[in-house]
Structure 1
Amino acid sequence: MFFQQLINGLMLGSVYALVALGYTMVYGVMKFINFAHGDVYMWGGFIGLFLARLLGGNYFLVLILTMILTGILGVLVERIAYKPLRKSPRLVVTTSALGMSIVLSNLALLLIGSETYPMPKILAVRQIHLGSFAVINTTQILVLVIAVILMFLLNWFVNHTRYGQAIRATSEDSETAGLMGISMDQVLVVTFFVGSALGGAAGLLVGTYYDAIYSTMGYAAGLKAFTAAILGGIGSIPGAMVGGLVLGVVENFAGAWIPNYRDGIAFIVMVLVLLFKPGGLFNANIYQKRV
């Protein structure tokens, strides 16, 4: 029972981590929460569904194209909702983020409807028995492996590429980074593209695992991923990864013991973290100067 819940929690937490990375990357650069990110995750699920029906069984091609298209969607969100307000107070930008979230969710309802759509069966599902401890299927393995690979690739990108260094420099001090020749426009395009691409990948992975895509799936997932980002330390990329995994494991164990309160566990965790450790597990500096 313990190992089964641990495996299920790690699988769920890896998805939370992917979505949380989008929140934490945007906060690190712009110092506000992109509340439309959960809806980008939802659109990633629908884009993946459309591509899976169009392309058939090539799952990894579907995944790559989904990430590219949701990355472009994220850039469009930034250009439309945030760029014109870049010098506005944070409250104004946050209001714009909430408005964009409503636009994206209602657009999905208008164009796609409120039905739940199953994913095409493009992967053979087989169960693997780990002795008498747990049972894991190939879909769970796929979700966990892809999520971990994407997190490692993001870590490499941020620490070992020119754009990654620009993102870190801008997050540390945007004014000084600008004086050093770093373009804020380019940094934001890359940040929103990468963060949204990871969210889109998470939408496809969740749709594959649960065999369900629907227009309101971004709401709860977005809130829980935001909680994971706070738990790890908002603005910290390693914190978002660890926070997502921890939240997934905690929620899964809580769901096994007190199932009626499973969804509430994430928000109880968020309240406790804000009360006792506002900087999160990685002690992020949430009081830094706003830009």
Structure 2
Amino acid sequence: MLQQQLVNALSLGCVYALFALGFTLVFGVLGVINLSHGAVFTVGAYAALQLVTHLDLPLWAGLAAAAVVSGIVGVLIDVLVLKRLRKRNAPHLIPMIATIGLAISLNSAIQGIYGAANMRFPAGLVPDDAIQVAGLHMTVIELVIIFLSFALMAALMLIMKRTQLGRGLRAIAESPKAASLLGINVEGLFLLTSFAAAALGGVAGVLIGLYSNAVFPLMGQPMLHKGIAVIILGGMGDIRGAMIGGLFLGFAEVLSVAYIGSTMRDAVAFGLLFLILLVRPQGLFGKVLERKA
């Protein structure tokens, strides 16, 4: 049933969009493609899993823990690595290589601590009840994913467009040097951006762990590839593009599985993305952001 497949695609696309939002936020403000974002995503999933498993806490506490722990990891990455590279005016390729190394280290540490086997969130953490609306079957976890993803995306858009903080971030995205001359705390906002982006990634990690019923050390690897595809499709550094791109990828994957076959899932999704970029290389929303100073 097409309508049911669209509901399934919406929930998956929301997770992709949430993951890509953190990715594109770092690129838009810091000008860095943070390739450790997939590993931070995994850290969030494991942080929530350990909290709800060993302390028997509810899902909302696990989501909060994932956001905080992932956000702290994001700040540490910025302070220990990215900030030092900024001070040395390192070329754009250097932070990418550095964050690849960080991702490998984080993934290896997680595997060393928890092992390589799949882990699962406790049964009953999310009710198994389903809601029937106009013939559509929606589980509680799908409703949670859709609601939470859209709420976080809307909050981020509101902050960026309507608040003093958002104006400061947009000023830094245009020119960090000019923003500093205007009295904006550039380094402070860099840290805040790193925390917020990583927190979004951590929450996405929990949601995908619940959606797929599996948490494992390399779960961030395919998400990283899809996150890169999403922000390129939507337009590098564009929040609207990350949202639309994530939803597009989710719909393409689910519909290809339903009507073509699971073995063609990635081939169809990334093939469509390739065709779109042939027509519009800069992505759906504008051109690639460039540093002016």
TM-score bin, normalised by smaller chain: over 0.9
Residue 45 of structure 1: how far off its partner (Å): 0.6
Deviation sequence 1:225-256 (CA, Å, 0-9, x none) = 22111111110111111111111111111121
Deviation sequence 1:132-168 (CA, Å, 0-9, x none) = 4x31111111111111111111112222333222111
Mean CA deviation greater in 268-277 or 200-209: 268-277
Q: What's the counterpart of residue 195 of structure 1?
A: 197
**Aligned equivalents of 1:146, 1:247: Cα separation in 2:** 19
Q: What's the counterpart of residue 242 of structure 1?
A: 244
1:279 aligns with 2:279: no
1:99 alignment partner, one of 81, 98, 101: 101
Residue 43 of structure 1: how far off its partner (Å): 1.0
Aligned length: 289
Counterpart secondary structure, 2:120: coil
Deviation sequence 1:163-193 (CA, Å, 0-9, x none) = 2221111112222111111122111111111
Counterpart secondary structure, 1:280: coil
What is the percentage of aligned positions where both structures have the same residue? 35
Gaps of 5+ in 2: none
1:251 aligns with 2:253: yes
Counterpart of 1:38, as a letter, is G
Deviation sequence 1:255-279 (CA, Å, 0-9, x none) = 2122211123343244334332122
Mean CA deviation greater in 211-220 or 179-188: 179-188
Contact 1:81-1:100 within 8 A present in 2 as well:
no
**Aligned equivalents of 1:159, 1:186: Cα separation in 2:** 19
**Aligned equivalents of 1:140, 1:148: Cα separation in 2:** 12
TM-score relative to the length of structure 1: 0.94
**Aligned equivalents of 2:57, 2:72: Cα separation in 1:** 24
Q: What's the counterpart of residue 261 of structure 1?
A: 264
Q: What's the counterpart of residue 144 of structure 1?
A: 146
Runs of 4+ that moved beyond 6 A: none
Q: What's the counterpart of residue 120 of structure 1?
A: 122
1:38 aligns with 2:29: no
Contact 2:237-2:289 within 8 A present in 1 as well:
no
1:163 aligns with 2:165: yes
Q: What's the counterpart of residue 172 of structure 1?
A: 174
Gaps of 5+ in 1: none
**Aligned equivalents of 2:205, 2:246: Cα separation in 1:** 15
Counterpart of 2:104, as a letter, is I
1:224 aligns with 2:223: no
Could you say if the C-alpha distance between residues 33 and 244 of structure 1 is closer, same or farther in structure 2, counting changes exceeding 3 Å?
same
Residue 28 of structure 1: how far off its partner (Å): 0.7
